Amino acid sequence: MGRKISVEDIYRLKSVSSVEMFDSEAVFAVKGINREKNRYISNIYMLSNGEIRRFTSGESMDTKPKWHPRGEGIFFVSNRDETSQVYYIKRDGGESDKITELPEGNVLDYTVSPDGDLMAIVFLEKPEFMKKEARKFRKEKNLSNPPMEITTLFYKLDGMGYILDRRPKIVIWNVKTGEKKIVDLEGKFWINSLVFSNDGKKIYFIASSPEELRNMSYIKVYDLERDEIHDITPIEGPKSNLIYVSENELAFVGHDDPTDGWGTRNMHLWIFDIGSGKARNLTSDLDNSIGYSLLSDTSEFGEGGGLRYVKEKFYFILTEKGNANIYEVDLDGNFKRVFDFRGGINSFDTDGKIFIFSASTITVPPEIWIYDGGIRKLSDFNSWVRDVEVYDAEEFWIDNDDVKIHTWVMKPKDLDEEKKYPAILYIHGGPHAAYGNVFFHEFQLTVANGYILVFSNPRGSKGYGERFAKDIKGDWGNKDYSDIMKVADFIENLPYVDPKKIGLTGGSYGGYMTNWILGKTDRFKAAITDRSVVNLLSMMGTSDFPFSPDMYWEGDFWDRIEKLWERSPIRLAKNIKTPLLIIHSEGDYRCPISEAEQLFKALKTLGKEVVFIRYPGETSHGLSRSGPPDLRIDRLRRYLDWWGKYLSS
């Protein structure tokens, strides 16, 4: 039996992503932490002839690897010279060459032309006052930071900061000559996907405008020879994962409802005939949403997915019942799961026969795997887990109303069934995301410290059909509350759980539900609310993404406030009796710090037992997943101290 997993093991944790194949070889990115420098690093690795070798090295963030179309080398994005640039390295290794000379900013995406001569880069430039030279000048002259003139609804983005009126540009870069051209998008659009035509003369891309106040994106085509952009959008609604199928066909993932802005609708696979302007839904009979929706602390929320087309079949990741598996669908809409995997596949590539993918399970952190008729793990980046105790989870289905709530229980291996143990119930964020069979360092750590840990997917979660996800649309704290209380009943009746020592916690929407539940019941011994939603009125007015009246939520936050106020946990603050730890980050633009401030001041004024941990501005909404490593460590220790104080005594 190994040692107990520790808080510091987060420094050993590696994450694997961005798999891309060329013939039987593959490249991918591996992210870890430099403990001494307290920062993340990422390197590119190659899988060749069954062996894995590091392809880039150093202390930078090397990400987004892509093969040269002829397999001659690898393109990748790196911040090695303190700016985000595209580099190239030959497939046999050696020194990498910097391809681009972009100003300070972020390469959000890029694609390479079929001949390898051109790149189309989605680039977001920093506002001038935030650039290095401007900051240096102010420091030398003892000048203050300038005021920001804000003219757009969408002017900040969690994890990125203030973008003001900046929008991504498409930069066409000639790899051989270094010449560049900026495609004029009139400063309106956010771009999430782009691809060259087979002849390299056109670039197709998806553009959306958060200012539009509906979940709408457009398919556009840029003609390089004519320097013209045309809109060829076939359906309304959101779109992503655009791929080129043939001279007259594209494919994308999306749905046709622009009024669904929070992800309650299933995302389907569409094939688009450019000539007729019509798109056909190939997965209309598949009642689950395409994409990776599982939550973990080994990757940021929303990372993962992908769409591939090989020999008249499409391949994609589908989240279902706590797993994320690869599916295939043919041009007639016949679909099937390629193989069964109890875990979460977050990126993959395939030639139609061999599948190379990055994935984790409850007991195995992210690694590289292969399916070639059987499933095998190929990499061992997280070999340290063999030296520690890791805990699997037992799965249960709990009846409530006309649905079943998927629930997991994790418990110590040396559990004595005759004794009673404290338990902790976790509520996931999203809300339209899901927990599942993936590695969660925080969960493993909590169980290692003697707690029964329970997590579940109440209504609103992805992976159980569209109706299940839509059941809480604009009505948080109703059916989801009922489901979570059924899970709480289940925990209390576990023979090895002390019903008087059950804790409650959640982050983001999970924090919302924690706040809401504490205002409804005092059945929990202690609670932690993390990066939570407290007041839907202030949340809608301060969050990074603009709020659209009468779409997901009824009304608005300045006039018709009844529904938003009715469903705001701050309204129930006077009822809270449970000792509460509030954790929030000043750099959180998704659920701004004002949410925590309101709850803390209300509870403190009411004489309640509450502590507020306020993390600094260099953190964001994703502190537990991608925040500064030392602050992630601090957060975990505070969790354990709080549970120890109230549940272990």
Provide the annotated active-site residues.
508, 621
The whole-angstrom distance between residue 537's C-alpha and the CA centroid of its chain comes to 25
d(CA 83, CA 106): 8
| Inter-CA distances, 37 with 40, 80, 616, Å | 9, 15, 18
d(CA 622, CA 484): 24
- Angle at which helices 441-448 and 629-647 cross, to 10°: 40
Contact, 317 vs 290, CB < 8 A? yes
Question: Locate tokens 């909404």: which residue?
Answer: 621
User: Which residues pair with residue 336 across a beta bridge?
Assistant: 328
511: nearest Cα among 525, 524, 529: 529
Cβ neighbours of residue 492 under 8 Å, at least 6 residues apart? 499, 502
| Inter-CA distances, 97 with 67, 84, 91, 463, Å | 15, 14, 13, 43
d(CA 645, CA 130): 43
Residue 566: enclosing H or E segment and its boundaries? helix 562-566
d(CA 311, CA 440): 37
Q: In 3-state terms, the chain is what percent helix, strand and coil (to 5)?
A: 20, 35, 45
d(CA 110, CA 68): 13
